[in-house]
Structure 1
Amino acid sequence: MDQSLQDIKQSFKQIRKERRKENFKAFFETFLKNKIAVAGGVLLLCYTFVALFAPWIAPYDPFEMDLFNKLQPPSLDHWMGTDDKGRDILSRIIYGSRLSMGVGFAAVLFGASFGIMMGMVAGYYGGWVDAIISRSLDVMLAFPGILLALAIISALGPSLFNVTVAVGVFSIPLFGRIARGSTMEVRHMEYIEAVRSLGGNDGIIIFRHIFPNILSPLIVQGTLRLATAILSAAGLSFLGLGAAPPSPEWGAMLSSGRDFFFSAPYIAIFPGITIALLVMGFNLFGDGLRDALDPRMKS
C-alpha cells in the first residue's frame, strides 16, 4: 500500500515537471514574438545593470559638491550637466536607480507577501474567514492609493523606509483579490482532491499545490505594480515625504530641480525622463508577460 502511494506521488511529480517544461517553452516562444515586450525587457535589463554596477559606471561621486561649477549645462565633462550644488546629475541618476528600484521592489514584495497570503487563506477556507479578509481588503481598496500612503507617512513620519511601507500597504488588496479569486478556481480541481485524499494537509495543499498554479496572474500584477510603486515613491519624495537630501533619489531630484526649471531645466528634465522610461519599460514588459502567460489575453 505504501509503495503504491509512493508510486502515485512520483507520477504526480513527473507530470508536474513535464507540464512546467512545456509551459515554460510555450511562454518563452510567445513572449519573444512580442517585440515591444522584448524591448521593455531589454530596457529593464539596462536599468538593472546600471543599478548593480553604479560605482563602476558613474563618472563622479554623486555627493561631491563643486560650487565653482554649479548649474553647468550638459557638456563633454558632465553629460547631463550639474545641479545647484555642482554635483554631476548623471552620476546622481545612476546611483538613484538603486534607491528608486530598490524601493519599488521592496514595496511590491511587501504588498505581495501579505496580499497573497491573505488571498489564498480567504479563497481556500471560504466562509467567515473569507468574509473577514475580503471586507478588510475592501476597506483598504476604498481609499485612493496615494491618499492612503500619505496617511501612513503622516503617522510614521517622512523617510524612504516609511515610503516603502506605505506603497507596499496599498498594494496588499490588489494581490489579495487576485490570489483569492485564483485560489477559489483551483481549490476544487481534481489534482487538489487527489492530494487531499493522499493525506495532504492544508499547508501542503496551499503552498505546494495551489500557490505554484496561481503564480501567472500574480507575476503579471507584480510586474505592472512595480511601475506604479516606483512612480508613487518618486511622487512622495517629490513632495518631501521620502528620501532626505542629499540622497540621489529621482523624485527628490525632480523636487530640487523645479526651482531652476526656467534657468536650468535639465536638472528636472533628466530625472523625469529616467522615471518615465523605467515606468514604460515595466508596463511594456508586464503587458508582454500577460499576453504570454494568459492565452485569453492575446491580441
Structure 2
Amino acid sequence: MNVDYAEQKQALPKQVLSARPGKWRTFYLKLRRNKLAMLGGYVILFYFLVAIFAPLLAPYDPYHIELANKLKPPSAEHWMGTDDKGRDVLSRLIIGTRLSLSVGFVAVFIGAFFGIVLGLFAGYYGKWVDTIIMRVIDVLLAFPGILLALAIVSALGPSLINVMIAIGVFSIPMFARIVRGSTLSVKKLEYIDAIRSLGASDLRIIFVHIFPNILSPIIVQATLRLATAILSAAGLSFLGLGAQPPLPEWGAMLSNGRDFLFTVPYLALFPGLAISTLVIGFNVFGDGLRDALDPRMKH
C-alpha cells in the first residue's frame, strides 16, 4: 500500500521531527562542540569588529607625527606607547587591522577564483585539458610559496597591491588541486549523467550542479589560506617589499620595531602579538570547520 510522503510526515510525532536538525543546524552543533574552534571564531570576530569600527576606536591619528613624544612607553595616555616618530602605536595597530585583513581576503579571493576555475575545468574535461592545466600547476608548486611571492613582488615592485597579487598567485595551486580532486569524484555520480542526458550544457553542469557540491573543502581551504596569506603579507612587508611608509601594516610595524628591540621592545611586541593571535585564530577555526563539514566525523 503506497502512502503519500506528506501523510507519512504528518503521522510522525512532533518529537521525532524536532529531533532531526537541518543541515546548517547540524553543522553548527558539531562546530560548537569544538571549543578551540569556537575560540578561534571569536578571535576572528573580534578583529573583524575592530577593522569595521577602526576609525571610531583609534584614539589618535595614526599618521600624525609628533617627535616630542617619540618612543614613549605604554601609559594611560598612550596604552601601547609611541613609535620613533611619536605616533600612537595602538591607533596604528587598530587601523592596520583593516590593511592586514584586506590583504588576506583579496589575496585568497584571487587564488580561489583562478584555482576554482582551473580545477573545475581540469577535473571535468580531463584528457589534454587536465594535462595542460595540471602541468602549469606543477610548475607553480615547484617553487616554495614565499620565494615565488618574493620573485613576483620583486618584478612588479614593492607595494601592498603587488603583495596581494603575489600571494594570490601562489595560492592558486592549492585551490586548483583540491577542486580538481573533488570534481573528479562528483562528476562520476549518476545524477550528473542524468543531467547531461537531459541536454544540459557543460558550463551549466560545472557551475550549477558540480560547483555547489564541492563548496565544503573550498571553504575550509580558504579559511586556512587566510592565515597563510596574512602571515606571508606581514613577512613581505617586514622585508620592505609590502606596505610602504607611512601605512600602518602590521608587518611594516614589526619591521620598524626590530630597530628598537632591546631598548623599546613593545614596538615589535604588540604587532607581533596581533599577527600571531589572528593567524592562530584562522588556523584553529579552519580545523574546526574541516571537522564539522566532514560527513565522516560523526562525533
Q: Provide the TM-score with structure 2 as the length reference.
A: 0.92
Determine the C-alpha separation between the residues in 2 that align with 1:279 and 1:178: 22
- 1:194-217 residue CA offsets vs partner (Å, 9 max, x unmatched): 211222111111001100000100
Q: 2:216: which partner in 1?
A: 216
Q: 2:56: which partner in 1?
A: 56
Mapping for residues 1-299 of structure 1, pairs under 5 Å = 22-296=22-296
- 1:172-197 residue CA offsets vs partner (Å, 9 max, x unmatched): 00000000000000002111112112
How far residue 295 of structure 1 moved from its aligned partner, in angstroms, is 3.4
Q: Contact 1:254/1:271 (CA < 8 Å) preserved in 2?
A: yes
Q: For residue 77 of structure 2, what is the amino acid of its counterpart?
A: D
Determine the C-alpha separation between the residues in 2 that align with 1:297 and 1:231: 30
Determine the C-alpha separation between the residues in 1 that align with 2:169 and 2:158: 16
Q: Provide the TM-score with structure 1 as the length reference.
A: 0.92
Q: 2:9: which partner in 1?
A: none
Work out the number of aligned pairs and report it: 279
How far residue 298 of structure 1 moved from its aligned partner, in angstroms, is 6.8
- 1:48-107 residue CA offsets vs partner (Å, 9 max, x unmatched): 000011000111110011111110111111111100001000000000011011000000
Q: 2:6: which partner in 1?
A: none
Determine the C-alpha separation between the residues in 2 that align with 1:103 and 1:53: 18
Determine the C-alpha separation between the residues in 2 that align with 1:119 and 1:234: 28
Determine the C-alpha separation between the residues in 1 that align with 2:181 and 2:26: 24
Q: Contact 1:179/1:214 (CA < 8 Å) preserved in 2?
A: yes
SS of residue matched to 1:246: coil
Query: CA 1:106–1:298 in 2, change beyond 3 Å: closer, same or farther?
Result: farther
State the identity as a percent. Answer: 68
SS of residue matched to 1:165: helix
- 1:150-173 residue CA offsets vs partner (Å, 9 max, x unmatched): 110111111100000000000000
SS of residue matched to 2:63: coil
Q: Contact 1:104/1:230 (CA < 8 Å) preserved in 2?
A: yes
How far residue 25 of structure 1 moved from its aligned partner, in angstroms, is 2.0
Q: Contact 1:291/1:298 (CA < 8 Å) preserved in 2?
A: no
Mind listing any 5+ residue stretches in structure 1 that lack a counterpart? 1-20
SS of residue matched to 1:71: coil
Q: 1:13: which partner in 2?
A: none
SS of residue matched to 1:170: helix
Mind listing any 5+ residue stretches in structure 2 that lack a counterpart? 1-20
Determine the C-alpha separation between the residues in 1 that align with 2:134 and 2:295: 28
Query: CA 1:186–1:228 in 2, change beyond 3 Å: closer, same or farther?
Result: same
Q: Contact 1:103/1:233 (CA < 8 Å) preserved in 2?
A: yes
Q: Contact 1:290/1:297 (CA < 8 Å) preserved in 2?
A: no
Q: CA RMSD in A?
A: 1.1
Query: CA 1:33–1:134 in 2, change beyond 3 Å: closer, same or farther?
Result: same
Determine the C-alpha separation between the residues in 1 that align with 2:175 and 2:297: 19
